[in-house]
Structure 1
Amino acid sequence: MSESFDVVIIGAGPGGYNAAIRAGQLGLKTAIIEKRDNKKLGGTCLNVGCIPSKALLHASQLYEIAEKDFAGLGIKTSGVSLDLPQMLKQKDDAVDALTNGVEFLMKKNKVTTFLGAGEIIAPGKVRVTGEKTVELEAKNIVIATGSEVTPLPGVEIDETQIVSSTGALALPKVPKHLVVIGGGVIGLELGSVWRRVGAKVTVVEFLDRILPTMDGEVSKQFQRILKKQGVDFKLSSKVTGAKKNKSNVKLTVEPAAGGEVETITADAVLVAIGRRPHTDKLGLETVGVKTDKRGFILTDHFKTNVDGVWAVGDCIHGPMLAHKAEDDAVACIELIAGKAGHVNYETVPNVVYTYPEVASVGKTEEQLKEEGVSYKTGKFPFMANSRAKTNHETDGFVKVLADAETDRVLGVHIVGVEAGELIAEAVSVMEFGGASEDIARTCHAHPTRSEAVRQAAMAVEGWTMQA
């Protein structure tokens, strides 16, 4: 006889496991299904995404600082060398600790975990195919299956010479030349890791700038910073083929608009052109759940067109970000429980965890111009911030965009050290419909980098005091 649940969740990433936690808190009998080969919860984010990449970004940054900056700070060392196996091990240790933590949270919130592939076989019924096959009855089914790497025609990923983000987290040696296909967040983060430990890195981007969804001014200055660090760029270019030899990969590259073809030789190639929803083999067609031509599940406040079937996270439209999936999950479960679940997608922050970081929330200047919105701009450089100056971390700036009539904050964009932490203030102000003056007249501790956010807000009305 099949077991019955109030909620069955397919997928145990940030969307799935947070949905399970909230459901448990609200007293719903809940099951979660995960098919990952390593039998670990946490999804792409914890296993082969956000968490391991940040572990390598942190370690590689410290390595580069020790190698290049210690002497200037008056710190003498007897020599710094790379222990790549240990660097990779500490990354794996962080992953293990956090995935075990998710397993604990499932038990704490009385969530039943099933390991295997989940498939909807009929309305209110899910089959789990793992070491043994079980069928579950569900009043509500939540699809939280996330996303997968988008493949590039002509460049076959083998996770050895041509890698996805997964393989780039576990290269057994530092490549002499790493070519990154794609100038988005994932490519720039992982490219930064391997550049810091000794690789030559070339980024090939189809569009005419990196971070194409971010503010144009941010994109330009950030590219200059990365170029100064040693990253090479080939913009408005496309990779049309890859030929693998025993020792290298030869890539065929040509202008995006067409033109003369060139060959680039690399030890390793990272394909990072984006991600796509993972929605196949879920039985969606069995019960008639609608998807668009790209595979995204169509929803209205997380409800699909089929009663009792919901979807959250990367497999529905919106930013493909772990924290967005988490907010989706909480709102979805609260709606199932009869509460007022809601997500404000205008205030979902986006962060690039390079050095320095890039962070943004809300509208870019390009979007405001396209929408015909009248706005004011305030900017402040970290070069004029006392903490940044003292720490020799002066690259970047803060930009605040506010409505020209109401002064309501419409967007904030930051390039700088710890930008990912600084953006939280802007998110909170925007969530409450605040104005640039609210930031400008809020006392900020001195000396901190957060003062740059305040000074940029002051600049909206032309009364910056520190520059």
Structure 2
Amino acid sequence: MRDDKPLHIAVIGSGGAAMAAALKAAERGAKVTLIERGTLGGTCVNTGCVPSKIMINAAHIAHLRRESPFDEGVSAQAPVVDRARLLQQQQALVEELRDTKYAGILRDHPAITVLNGEARFVDSHSLTVTLNEGGEQTVRFDRAFIGTGGRPALPQIPGLVDTPYLTSTSALALDTLPKRLIIIGASVVALELAQAFARLGSRVSLLARNRVLSQQDPAVGEAVEEAFRREGIEVLTQTRVSHVDHRNNEFILDTGAGNLRADQLLVATGRTPNTETLNLANIGVRTTRGAILVDEQLQTSVPGLYAAGDCTDQPQFVYVAAAGGSRAAVNMTGGAVSLDLSAMPAVIFTDPQVATVGLMEAEAIEQGFSVETRVLDLEKVPRALVNFDTGGFIKMVAEQDSGRLLGVQAVAREAGELIQTAVMALRAHLTIEEIGDELFPYLTIVEGLKLCAQTFTKDVTQLSCCAG
């Protein structure tokens, strides 16, 4: 508060980071002007997390009806997939969540004013909004928050821009299933959509410039690649595309593996920040390849200007974006909090899922730790055995002398459900011995963390089913 006048904060964007910042700032007494140039809600609810997980789960159901570990006793039958109806169901929930979690909240909030238009900074205390309905409006502020998110990146491949390629956004909006689909990319989005389309009935080829999940422990990518091949997904590693053409409703890709052809081409090679229209360089905001550089308090290189989410150099997860937005709002309104990403979980929603937290073995060694690691195959986890689903593993990285947990990498059907337990163990600085001595419910996948911890000192194959 200044002279009993509320602080005025401009928030650019309306996704996870921006909404969290706007709501927290208003909660702390600020007046907020939120500026959105497109659809309210950002990537997650509209074109990312929500629609993709709906499609992935529908594909999982289709897969189980076609094939499961229990087919000898439970009859299987190939399902009829109506993509148009699935899309209707998907979009209905997207629209419902957009209204209840974004538009409805903003509509009824007395401290938040919404402007529909594109913002451009004039200086560190004012910006110009080119309104969607026409005209311009100047917004003067005490503090500003940038939460403009990102969009699918486009690799520099000759011929690509002249073709009707798909991005994750347009792929999720398809109302028909391509018979043949090529996906360029081998990270999170590429893998999730490759398996979803394959399970719904497309013949999918995945092209990795290097290897699958090249930023992860090599064993993680190998496990996912093996699972994909079992399902009939073609995985081509060390494959670069030198040219793309589109003739007679067919994509033709020139690659080191020869000419590849498909009905649709999905490009999923990462994301790029939405910052190019903000005039950041002219007001002194530092960026790297378009991503805004922020400190632990989420402040940019210009005092009073803050940012979080996919438009920054932070990890691109919506929960990181929301946490960053909330903390930035606290700092903009007189607080002093930081965003600690030392125990940040990450989940890839393939089947099996991939879930990680903390340091990989190579990272720990690079940071100077003397490490000890163990890998527990899922065939040693009772829950995986009774599920007849033992593809995958859990790996633990520990500091050699103290036994303190440094990181966990898991590939398992429910890896995303077990990783938060590992997060809490890291936060509490637990040792491998303490994790191995803890009580875990029997016949759960998360019990694999206990068993993996126990392998540091014993042979778990010699334990009874639920031995402590």
TM over 0.5: yes
Alignment partner, residue 85 of structure 1: 84
1:5 to partner: Cα distance? 5.5
Alignment partner, residue 68 of structure 2: 69
Q: Does 1:125 align with 2:126?
A: yes
CA distance in 1, matches of 2:159, 2:352: 31
Alignment partner, residue 46 of structure 2: 47
Alignment partner, residue 26 of structure 2: 24
- Conserved 8 A contact 1:377-1:459: no
2:354 to 347, 352, 358: 358
- Conserved 8 A contact 1:20-1:106: no
Q: Secondary structure at the match of 2:142?
A: strand
- How many residue pairs align between the two structures? 453
Alignment partner, residue 164 of structure 1: 167
- Conserved 8 A contact 1:381-1:452: no
Q: Does 1:230 align with 2:229?
A: no
Alignment partner, residue 257 of structure 1: none
1:220 to 219, 222, 225: 222
CA distance in 2, matches of 1:215, 1:108: 47
1:215 to partner: Cα distance? 1.4
CA distance in 2, matches of 1:335, 1:428: 26
Letter in 1 for 2:293: L
1:300 to 295, 319, 336: 295
> For each residue in 1:167-211, what CA deviation from the matched residue of structure 2 results, as whole angstroms up to 9, or x when unmatched?
11122322222111111000000111110011111111111x211
CA distance in 2, matches of 1:247, 1:164: 17
> For each residue in 1:298-349, what CA deviation from the matched residue of structure 2 results, as whole angstroms up to 9, or x when unmatched?
2223222222211111222121111111121122112122223212222111
Structure 2 portions without partners, runs of 5+: none
- Conserved 8 A contact 1:384-1:466: no
Alignment partner, residue 258 of structure 1: none
Letter in 2 for 1:384: K
- Conserved 8 A contact 1:215-1:364: yes
Identity of aligned residues (%): 29
Deviates more, 1:181-190 or 1:234-243: 234-243
How do residues 302-341 of structure 1 correspond to structure 2 at under 5 angstroms? 302-341=298-337
Task: Call closer, same or farther: CA 1:429–1:107 in 2, change over 3 Å.
Answer: farther
Task: Call closer, same or farther: CA 1:22–1:157 in 2, change over 3 Å.
Answer: farther
CA distance in 2, matches of 1:347, 1:289: 28
- Conserved 8 A contact 2:65-2:77: no
- In the superposition, the TM-score normalised over structure 2's length comes to 0.91
Q: Secondary structure at the match of 1:426?
A: helix
Alignment partner, residue 431 of structure 2: 435
Alignment partner, residue 387 of structure 1: 383
CA distance in 2, matches of 1:449, 1:155: 46
Over the residues paired in the alignment, what is the CA RMSD in angstroms?
2.2
CA distance in 1, matches of 2:430, 2:159: 47
Alignment partner, residue 252 of structure 2: 250
Alignment partner, residue 374 of structure 1: 370
Letter in 1 for 2:53: K
Deviates more, 1:167-176 or 1:358-367: 167-176
Alignment partner, residue 102 of structure 1: 102
1:150 to 150, 153, 166: 153
- Conserved 8 A contact 1:181-1:273: yes
Q: Secondary structure at the match of 1:329?
A: helix
Deviates more, 1:104-113 or 1:13-22: 104-113
CA distance in 1, matches of 2:416, 2:159: 33
> For each residue in 1:411-451, what CA deviation from the matched residue of structure 2 results, as whole angstroms up to 9, or x when unmatched?
10110112112111111111232222332222111221111
Alignment partner, residue 442 of structure 2: 446
Q: Secondary structure at the match of 1:162?
A: coil
1:466 to partner: Cα distance? 6.0
- Conserved 8 A contact 2:253-2:259: yes
Q: Does 1:141 align with 2:144?
A: yes
CA distance in 2, matches of 1:437, 1:147: 42
CA distance in 1, matches of 2:65, 2:77: 11
Alignment partner, residue 414 of structure 2: 418
Letter in 1 for 2:389: E
- In the superposition, the TM-score normalised over structure 1's length comes to 0.91
CA distance in 1, matches of 2:464, 2:398: 20
CA distance in 2, matches of 1:25, 1:461: 50
CA distance in 1, matches of 2:433, 2:112: 46
Q: Does 1:290 align with 2:309?
A: no
- Conserved 8 A contact 1:4-1:138: no
CA distance in 2, matches of 1:78, 1:177: 22
> For each residue in 1:238-287, what CA deviation from the matched residue of structure 2 results, as whole angstroms up to 9, or x when unmatched?
11111101221000112xxxxxx721111111111111221111121342
Task: Call closer, same or farther: CA 1:447–1:279 in 2, change over 3 Å.
Answer: same
- Conserved 8 A contact 1:400-1:460: no
